[in-house]
Every structure is written in C-alpha cells, then in structure tokens.
Structure 1
Amino acid sequence: MRRCLALFAALTLGGCLGMPKNVSPVSGFELSRYLGKWHEIARLDHSFERGMERVTAEYSLREDGGVAVKNRGFLAAKQEWKEAAGKAFFVEEPSTGYLKVSFFGPFYGSYVIFELDKEQYQYAFVSGPDHSYLWLLSRTPTVNKELLARFVEQARQRGFDTSKLIYVKQQP
C-alpha cells in the first residue's frame, strides 16, 4: 500500500513540474540578476490571485541555495494586502530558467521562464505546468505597448488563451 501511495504521489506531484507544449525555458539564465522585485503586468486568472491589484513578486537567496519567494497583492474588495511566502529550486541546471516553486509544504509547481530580457533583466514571460498559468513580469509597474503586444503574441503562439488575460492594475 505504501508503494502505491508513493507512486501516486510521485506521479501527481511530478505532473505539476512539467511545462506546456511549445514552451521551453530560457538558457543562459543568471539567478543573481533575476533576484529582486518584479511587478505583475498580466496574468491568467487563478483563485489565489483573484481580485488582486498591485501584485509583486520578490525573489531572494535562501541559505540552502534555493530561492525565497514573496508574493504580495492588494485585494481591492477587502481593502487589504495579502502575502504568500514560498520557496523555489532549480529543476535542471541553474543556467536554465526552469524552477519548481512551493507555497504549500511538499507540493511544487513549475515556474518556466520562456522569454527574458537577457541584457537588462527588465521583463520575463513565465508559465506554470500547463496552459492555464501565464504571467508577464516587469521590473517596472508598466511596460510599453510593443512589449505587451510581443507577450500576447508569443503566448498565443504557444497555445495560451490570451483572450482571458487580466491586465493587472499597478497604481492605486
């Protein structure tokens, strides 16, 4: 029975570490340049972010070599801030933008950086394990129209339903 449960857990949790078809993580990734604060510009809807504005993610190094993750957003309906702390680790080598992130104990989900401003590290296109998870992150609270259009087109070409994108309000 224990073997069956272990196998079930491995298969279930492993499924959360995949990536969507047509999505590949960037190579040449430099974690030290990725650390710091990012603003969420656009996303697909999820219950854990529903109704949130001014969403940010902050990444820092952990003592164990992983990445500390702090997500923060303003829940407009309740007029309050919500925070979630998590941890992330590389799935492959550290030069590949493919991490596993956990906010809930031993359960991990994919964090796949599939496009990145490798010169300045000013924006990132990120997916989760399937086509229902998608984010545009930026070092600034707003981005230009050209970058937003490129994000939408790149996401659409990779199979994401861009008609359901939420454009996150970043200013009060």
Structure 2
Amino acid sequence: MVAAGVATAAPVSAQPTDSPGPWQPLAPVPSLDIARYVGTWHQLAAIPQPFNVNCARDTRAVYELIDASNISVNNTCTTWSGETMGVTGNARVTDPVTNAQLRVSFPSVPTQGSPDGPTNYVVTYIADDYSWALVGDPARASGFVLSRTPAVSDAQWQQIRGVVESRGYDSCLLLTSPTTGGRDDITPLCTV
C-alpha cells in the first residue's frame, strides 16, 4: 500500500492507455507471478454480486498454491448478523501464457462447481509490489479491488479509481467494502 508521504503518481502500468470500451473483453496483465499472488487479499471495493449480498464487512480471499495450474480459494466475510460466512473453491489457470486468466469454481455452489470451463476471473491490474489488484470477468459483470491490507490512503483511492476507469469500468458501479481498520462505509467508488 502507499505509505504516507509517498509520491501519488500512478505507476506506469496503471496509466490509462487506450481506454477499452465495455464491449471489449477485459484484458489480463501481461504476466502474473502466481507465487507472489497467493496469500490474503482484502476486498476494498466491488460490483455487488448475488453470492455476497449477505457480506456486510471484512470480505477476504485467501489463495494457496496447489500446483502450477491450481490455487485453492477460501473466501470469507462477516455477515450483517455478525457471523462469519465462507466458501471454499478452486482457481484453475486457463491462460498459461500470462497466468492472469483463471476459472474459479466452488463445488458447493450450484452452476459454479466445475473447475473446467471458460475464464471467469481476469487479473487486469496488479501493482508492481503486488500490494493491490483489480480483477473481474471478461464481460466486466464483476469487478473487485483487492488489497493486501484493509486500508489505503486517499491518494491510493484516487489511483485505484483511475485504474478501474482505465480498464473500461464505470467506477460508480463499484461500491466500497467496509473493512476493520479501513473504510467503514459503502459508497460508489466514483465519489471517493
């Protein structure tokens, strides 16, 4: 994450190039180091999805390497009633050239049980230090801002918004996710 006093300019990889239209598939990063990508990620913002409507705060994903093509996925959150809810699944690399396109499946969720199928998880941005990422599906029906820490600076929020928009998303569709130690509100990213 960006520490206080660090320059606020976005890294070169985050700068908008030719802003893709929403009709073009979400592009993956040129190369993803899976070994660096695994670990714990906090959801800072997302396009609301039916499967996480019960999540009130502290939505996290823990990824662990199984083998060169498979990653275990353990998603958890705190519900509106204060309970912990979770689901476990698998992420399979579908693009071995970039390693940045995967098929995420959850055996306990109807229609999401098969690890074989089309790509539904694209890492479209990763910070140089792997401190935060933007992921979504090829059609941009989903979008998630993930961070290694539950809080980021105001300057980092501006960088995140710029990256989200440069990848063809409407930043007003992503809502901030409350995290302990971070933001406590749910608000459109375009207003942050």
Same fold? TM cut 0.5 = yes
- What is the CA deviation profile of residues 106-132 of structure 1, one whole-angstrom value per residue up to 9, with x for unaligned ones? 1655111111013x2111011113222
- The aligned length equals 152
One of 76, 81, 97 as aligned partner of 1:72: 76
Percent of paired sites with the same residue: 25
One of 45, 50, 54 as aligned partner of 2:53: 50
One of 134, 154, 164 as aligned partner of 2:173: 164
Question: When you count strand as a share of all residues, which structure comes out higher?
Answer: 1
With normalisation by structure 1, the TM-score equals 0.79
What amino acid sits opposite 2:161 in the alignment? V
- After the TM superposition, which parts of structure 1 deviate over 4 Å for at least 4 consecutive aligned residues? none
- Structure 1 unaligned blocks of 5 or more: 1-18
Question: When you count helix as a share of all residues, which structure comes out higher?
Answer: 1
* Preserved CA contact (<8 Å) 1:58 1:69: yes
How far has the Cα of 1:148 moved from its partner? 1.9
Alpha-carbon distance between aligned partners in 2 of 1:140 and 1:94, rounded to the nearest angstrom? 29
**CA distance 1:105–1:122, shift in 2 (3 Å):** same
* Preserved CA contact (<8 Å) 2:26 2:137: no
- What is the CA deviation profile of residues 25-75 of structure 1, one whole-angstrom value per residue up to 9, with x for unaligned ones? 112211011111000000011111114110000000225841000000011
With normalisation by structure 2, the TM-score equals 0.71
- Structure 2 unaligned blocks of 5 or more: 1-21, 107-111, 182-192
3-state SS of 2:120 partner: strand
Q: CA RMSD in A?
A: 2.2
Alpha-carbon distance between aligned partners in 2 of 1:45 and 1:65, rounded to the nearest angstrom? 28
